[in-house]
Structure 1
Amino acid sequence: MTVPLPIIWMNGPFGIGQTQAAQVLHTRLPGSFLFDPEEMGRALKKLTPRFSGDLQTHPMWIPLMLDALQFAVKQADGPLIVPMPLTDVARHRRLLSGLKDRGMAVHHYTLLAPVEVVQARLRRHDPPVSWEAGEVEQRLKAFSGEAFARHLTAGECSPDAIAEEIAADLGLTLKPAQKEPLRWLKALGSRR
């Protein structure tokens, strides 16, 4: 019996850096595939008349995610890396249990950082995101619950350090870190 390839789900509040860490992990983990749920969300928005709001509330989002991830796991040569904030506990439970019910090994990591760090990252975002400290605190508090464990401290950690912590936890071997500045940005641009 073959062991299913793992899905590495990287969760956390917007601006925490899960996309950057996921890109670094993908770059350093041979055979991995970066699965971006935002692409599916954009397609759902374009294909559904009169739908507005949070794409994760779309009635087709979870069923499509389950099918797409199951298909991608069968096609992939290595782990799937999924950077996606998912704060709703019921939706989170439904999605992850649905993946496990289909025989997929899911390893879930939630990145957390102090409020000031998240706010600073949001201000640097293009375009800048202006959330009040109270809203950032609420989102961080939601993610700090047991349902979203395993927690990783992303505060001053580099994306490489986060990728290395996840790889060590899963017993995966990474290629050496590249020293080229902004390599994750170049790699992201090459995906488009």
Structure 2
Amino acid sequence: MIVWLNGTFGAGKTTTAGELVEVVPDARIFDAEQVGYMLYHVEGLPKVRNFQEWTPWRALVVQTAFRLLDYVGGVLVIPQTVLIEEYWTEIRAGLEKEGIPLRHVVLHTDQDTLTRRIETDTIETGARQWRLDHLADYRDALPWLTREAEVVDTTGVAPARVAQIIAEGSGG
């Protein structure tokens, strides 16, 4: 099974993923961004704003998840923002084709909390402005995200509790 944690940059996906693997048996994190970083080293790919624009990224994420689950079993927790509906549809369809059960969860919080989290983040300080600049992209994607995913409001909720809420819905 895959639990895909979606949401805007700074919503707490990585922190929640770390908590989730502590409470869901046989769960491990798969960082799909690493697939994108791998592709950045391939010469001749078109220049893009975001590695998700590369069709191979989406296909490789699906295939890597499939191969990992086939190899180790259990639950993959993927903390990855996907805000383009077409890309999500392609990923979801690929996972369905491989027969992988998928739980798509959007971590959501109010604008003030999100801005405060980003501005006070001591880990990803170099990406602070970039994350703030992409809040509008998240707002624009929210209508389709709410149709395609379970939305978990993280406003005022500790990451460990958010993970517990998700785990309870995953049979964990």
The two structures have a TM-score, normalised by structure 2, of 0.88
Change (3 A) 1:138 1:49: closer
Corresponding residue pairs, total: 167
Establish whether residue 89 from structure 1 lines up as the match of residue 88 from structure 2. Answer: no
Q: Which amino acid aligns with 2:79?
A: P
Q: Which has the larger radius of gyration?
A: 1
User: 1:77 deviation in Å?
Assistant: 3.6
Establish whether residue 14 from structure 1 lines up as the match of residue 13 from structure 2. Answer: no
Aligned residues of 2:83 and 2:141 also touching (Cα < 8 A): yes
The two structures have a TM-score, normalised by structure 1, of 0.79
Establish whether residue 123 from structure 1 lines up as the match of residue 122 from structure 2. Answer: no
Give the corresponding residue for 1:112: 108
Q: Which amino acid aligns with 1:153?
A: D
Moved beyond 6 Å, runs of 4+: 131-134
Choose the corresponding residue for 1:102, options 98, 102, 112: 98
Change (3 A) 1:41 1:161: same
Give the corresponding residue for 2:68: 72
Residues 7-16 or 148-157, more deviating = 148-157
CA deviation string 1:50-84 (max 9, x = no partner): 53420000121111111111101111241000000
Aligned residues of 2:4 and 2:79 also touching (Cα < 8 A): yes
User: 1:30 deviation in Å?
Assistant: 2.9
> Which residues of structure 2 form unaligned runs of 5+?
none
Give the root-mean-square deviation of aligned CA atoms: 2.0
- Structure-1 separation of matches of 2:55 and 2:133: 30
Give the corresponding residue for 2:37: 42
Give the corresponding residue for 1:155: 155
User: 1:89 deviation in Å?
Assistant: 0.7
Choose the corresponding residue for 2:19, options 21, 24, 42: 24
Give the corresponding residue for 1:180: none
Q: Which amino acid aligns with 2:155?
A: G
